[in-house]
Amino acid sequence: MINRITLLLFIGLAWGQVEQDKLVLKDETKYLGEFSTIDGKNVLFKPEGAFGFQPISINKIKTLELSDGWLLIRNGRKLISRNEYQALSIEEKAQYDARILKPMTKWLRAGFLSVSSGMVVGGMVNFLEPLFFIVPAAGLIITYSMFGSNVEVINYPVELKSDKEKELYNNAYIKEVKRLRIISMSTGHLAFYGIIIIAFVFVLYG
């Protein structure tokens, strides 16, 4: 009898842990508890041990992950619900997953650094000479060719069963990731030039 009670308690505790949602604030404070709903710009969340739901500004939330693993909020931004996701086409699911699962921050930095390293290799030539733009651009192209074009789908949505569906998802996912990488690297590229131009104007007229 004691063994059965112990087993039931263990199952109850394990089930309670599985059912909890996880909220992480931008200051890295973490809460386990129960998510209720999104009310305007606030999330109603009851932390473990609390007596009621508390409003928390979406802007303060780093991530809100539901008990089933679904990510509902990331970096102060509300994502789509599971039901909304299920209503998407296979291509739309692939594009959404590429944007959510593959943050482009490192590719933004790669674009910035490839330009700066290209300028180091090419030398700090005159601002008006073509090499000032050609060498860094070549560094950007080489960086993308070596690293940016390699994309692999790690997890397929569970509802995709056939090889044809997975192939359709795979092609759309890879295409979207590559597109986002190019945009991010180009943005980093332009940001570097922006800094150089501002510094040049500051030195010239400051």
- Indicate the average pLDDT of the chain: 74
Domain ranges of the chain: 2-79, 90-205
C-alpha–C-alpha distance, residues 111 and 114, integer Å: 5
Residue-wise pLDDT tens digits, 89-123: 999 998 888 887 655 555 555 555 555 555 554 44
C-alpha–C-alpha distance, residues 136 and 116, integer Å: 7
pTM of the predicted model as reported, rounded to 2 decimal places: 0.60
Please give the structure tokens belonging to residue 53: 């739901």
- Count of CB atoms within 10 A of residue 205's CB? 6
Residue-wise pLDDT tens digits, 120-161: 544 455 544 555 555 555 555 655 555 555 666 667 888 888
Phi–psi pair at 92, nearest 5 degrees: -65, -35
H or E segment and range at residue 187: helix 163-205
C-alpha–C-alpha distance, residues 62 and 2, integer Å: 43
Cα four-point dihedral sign 101, 99, 77, 39: negative
- At 10 the pLDDT is 47
The CATH number, out of the four listed (1.10.3470, 2.30.30, 3.40.50, 2.60.120), of the domain defined by the range 2-79:
2.30.30
Please give the structure tokens belonging to residue 119: 């300028």
Distance of CA 147 to the CA centre of its chain: 18
